[in-house]
C-alpha cells in the first residue's frame, strides 16, 4: 500500500482532524440510513493506503467537498476506482496535485509518508516505462493566478545548485527539510500558476532538478520509499519538460538506489533504458556513470563478461567528458568517480590488483568531501583484502576526519562497514582507526 497523500493534504486544507472526519462520516452515513462507527484509527489506516468499503469513499468526498466548498471526485481524494487500467502516462494536472500533496506531507513529517517502504516489481518499473514511451506531453501550458516568469525559473535553478552544495557539505539529513520547505513555499505555487507551453517546459525542468535533490536527501536519510517517490516525480517532470537528458539523470539516481537495495537486475534494466531512450541527449559524464553502475550490477550478478564490457564503455565515455559542456546535474561525475565505481565492480569479481589501481587513482584526483569519503572507504576495504593493514589504517583515519560534521546515514553505513572490516583484521595498525570511527559514530544524527 502507498500512503494516501492526497487525502492527507485535503484534511490539512480543510482543517479537520482524523477524529473529526470519522465523526462527520458517521453523521453523513446516518443521513443515508447507514450505521457507521468509524473512529480516528480508521482514518489513520486510510492515510496509510487502505481503501474504505462501500459508499464510504463517496461520503469522504461529500464531507470534505462541503468543508472546502468545491466538488471532489474519488481521484481527488486518492480513492480512484480499484482495478481500473492505469493510464499510459499520468496527466499533468493530477500529477501536480499529487506531487505537491507529497511535499506538504513530508514537510509536516507525516509518519505514513516518511516511513513508507520502497515499492518493487511492476510499480517500480512503470514510471520508467512511462518516461521512455509515448505519449509525450503536447502542451504543458496552464492557467493560474500566479504568472510564471523566467526570473522565477532562474530562482529554482539557483536553489537546486544551492541545495546540492549543501547536501555535499552537510549531508541529506540536514538538507532535506530545507529543500522540501522550499518546494512547498516556492515551487508549488509556480507549478499551479499560469504559463505558456515554452515557459512551462522550463519550469518543469527546473522543478524536476529540485525534486531530484529532495529524493537524494531522502535516500541519504534512509527514507527509501519517500526517495523513490521523489525520483518518480522528477522523472514525470522531466518528461513534461521534454529534456531526455534530465530523465536519464533521474534514472541514474534510481539505478543507484536499486544497487543499494540489491535489486541488481533492475539496476541493469534501468540503466539500459536511460542509455537507450535518451539518445543524443545523454552526455558523456552521465553515460560514464550509467555504464559504471551497470558494471557493478553485472559483477554482483556474477556476470564477468557483462561487467567488463560495461567497464570499457564507462572508461570510453569518461574520456569524452569536457568541463563546461555538461549540465549542472551531472556535476557529480567528477574525475575519479568512474574509477571508484570500476574498483567496486572489479572487487566483486575478485580482481584485487585492478580494484586497488582504480581506487588509488580515484583517491588521487580532487573531489568534494562527500565523494572523497566514499573513495577512501573503498581504498581501505581493498587494502584490508590485500593484507595491507598499515595502508588501510592510515586511509581509514583520513576517511573518518573527512566525514566529520556530515549528517548522512549513507556515510554512517560506510563508516560502520569499514569499522567491521578493520576489526576483522585484528591488526594493531588498524586499532587507532577503529577507535576514531567509534567516536564518530557516537555522534547522533
Query: pLDDT (tens digit, 0 to 9) for every residue of the chain, 445 residues total?
Result: 678 888 988 898 888 999 999 999 999 999 999 999 999 999 999 998 899 988 999 999 999 999 988 888 888 898 876 544 444 445 788 899 889 999 999 998 988 888 999 999 999 999 999 999 999 999 999 998 889 999 999 999 999 999 999 999 999 999 999 999 999 999 999 999 999 999 999 999 999 999 999 999 999 999 999 999 999 999 999 999 999 999 999 999 999 999 999 999 999 999 999 999 998 889 999 999 999 999 999 999 999 999 999 999 999 999 999 988 999 999 999 999 999 999 999 999 999 999 999 999 999 999 988 999 999 999 999 999 999 999 999 999 999 999 998 999 999 999 999 999 998 888 887 998 999 999 999 988 7
| Other CB atoms within 10 Å distance of the CB of residue 97 | 18
How far apart, in Å, are the Cα atoms of 441 and each of 176, 217, 416, 418? 21, 20, 8, 12
What pLDDT score was predicted for residue 133?
A: 93
| Integer Cα distance of 364 and 321 in angstroms | 18
Helix, strand or coil for residue 437?
Answer: helix
- What is residue 87's predicted lDDT score, i.e. its pLDDT? 42
At residue 147, the 3 state secondary structure works out as: strand
Residues 6+ apart with CB under 8 A from 106: 113, 114, 180, 214, 218, 226
Tell me how crowded residue 126 is: count the other CB atoms within 10 A of its CB.
15
Quick check: 129 and 247 in contact, CB under 8 A? no
Contact, 422 vs 384, CB < 8 A?
yes
Contact status, residue 7 vs residue 46, Cβ threshold 8 Å: yes
Grid cell of 119 as nine digits: 515499492
User: What pLDDT score was predicted for residue 81?
Assistant: 62
Distance between CA 443 and CA 440 in Å, rounded?
6
Other CB atoms within 10 Å distance of the CB of residue 138: 6
- Write phi, then psi, for 99 (nearest 5 degrees): -65, -50
Do residues 199 and 152 lie in contact, with contact meaning Cβ atoms separated by under 8 Å?
A: no
Packed helices 5-14 and 40-47: angle between N→C axes, nearest 10 degrees: 130
**Phi/psi at 196 (5° precision):** -75, 175
Please state the φ and ψ torsions of residue 52, each to the nearest 5 degrees: -70, 160
What is the 8-class DSSP label of residue 429?
G
Domains of the chain (ranges, CATH numbers): 5-85 (1.10.260), 262-362 (no CATH)
Amino acid at each position: 500500500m502507498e500512503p494516501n497523500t492526497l487525502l492527507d493534504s485535503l484534511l490539512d486544507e480543510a482543517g479537520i482532524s482524523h477524529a473529526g472526519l470519522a465523526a462527520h462520516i458517521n453523521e453523513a452515513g446516518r443521513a443515508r440510513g447507514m450505521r457507521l462507527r468509524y473512529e480516528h484509527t480508521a482514518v489513520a489506516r486510510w492515510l496509510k493506503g487502505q481503501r474504505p468499503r462501500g459508499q464510504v469513499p463517496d461520503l469522504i468526498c461529500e464531507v470534505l467537498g462541503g468543508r472546502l466548498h468545491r466538488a471532489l471526485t474519488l481521484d481527488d481524494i486518492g480513492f480512484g476506482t480499484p482495478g481500473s487500467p492505469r493510464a499510459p502516462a499520468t496527466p499533468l494536472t493530477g500529477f501536480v496535485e499529487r506531487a505537491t500533496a507529497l511535499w506538504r506531507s513530508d514537510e509536516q513529517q507525516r509518519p505514513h509518508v516518511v516511513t513508507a517502504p520502497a515499492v518493487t516489481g511492476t510499480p517500480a518499473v512503470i514510471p520508467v516505462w512511462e518516461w521512455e514511451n509515448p505519449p509525450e506531453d503536447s502542451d504543458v501550458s496552464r492557467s493560474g493566478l500566479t504568472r510564471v516568469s523566467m526570473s522565477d525559473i532562474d530562482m529554482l535553478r539557483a536553489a537546486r545548485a544551492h541545495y546540492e552544495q549543501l547536501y555535499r557539505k552537510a549531508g541529506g539529513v540536514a538538507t532535506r527539510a530545507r529543500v522540501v520547505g522550499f518546494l512547498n513555499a516556492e515551487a508549488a505555487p509556480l507549478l499551479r500558476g499560469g504559463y505558456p507551453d515554452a515557459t512551462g517546459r522550463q519550469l518543469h525542468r527546473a522543478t524536476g532538478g529540485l525534486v531530484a535533490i529532495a529524493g537524494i536527501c531522502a535516500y541519504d536519510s534512509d527514507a527509501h520509499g519517500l526517495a523513490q517517490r521523489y525520483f518518480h516525480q522528477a522523472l514525470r517532470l522531466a518528461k513534461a519538460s521534454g529534456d531526455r537528458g534530465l530523465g536519464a539523470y533521474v534514472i541514474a539516481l534510481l539505478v543507484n538506489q536499486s544497487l543499494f537495495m540489491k535489486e541488481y537486475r533492475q539496476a541493469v534494466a534501468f540503466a539500459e533504458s536511460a542509455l537507450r531512450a535518451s539518445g543524443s541527449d545523454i552526455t558523456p559524464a552521465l553515460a560514464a556513470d550509467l555504464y559504471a553502475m551497470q558494471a557493478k550490477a553485472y559483477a554482483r550478478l556474477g556476470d564477468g563478461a557483462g561487467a567488463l564490457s560495461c567497464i570499457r564503455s564507462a572508461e570510453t565515455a569518461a574520456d569524452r567528458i569536457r568541463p563546461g559542456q555538461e549540465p549542472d546535474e551531472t556535476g557529480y561525475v567528477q574525475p575519479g568517480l568512474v574509477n571508484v565505481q570500476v574498483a567496486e565492480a572489479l572487487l566483486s569479481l575478485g580482481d584485487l590488483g585492478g580494484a586497488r589501481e582504480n581506487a588509488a587513482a580515484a583517491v588521487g584526483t580532487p573531489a568534494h568531501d562527500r565523494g572523497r569519503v566514499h573513495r577512501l572507504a573503498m581504498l581501505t576495504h581493498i587494502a584490508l583484502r590485500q593484507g595491507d593493514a598499515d595502508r588501510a589504517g592510515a586511509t581509514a583515519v583520513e576517511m573518518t576526519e573527512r566525514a566529520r560534521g556530515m549528517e548522512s546515514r549513507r556515510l554512517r553505513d560506510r563508516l560502520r562497514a569499514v569499522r567491521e572490516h578493520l576489526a576483522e583484521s585484528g591488526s594493531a595498525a588498524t586499532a587507532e582507526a577503529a577507535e576514531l570511527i567509534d567516536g564518530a559514530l557516537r555522534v547522533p544524527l
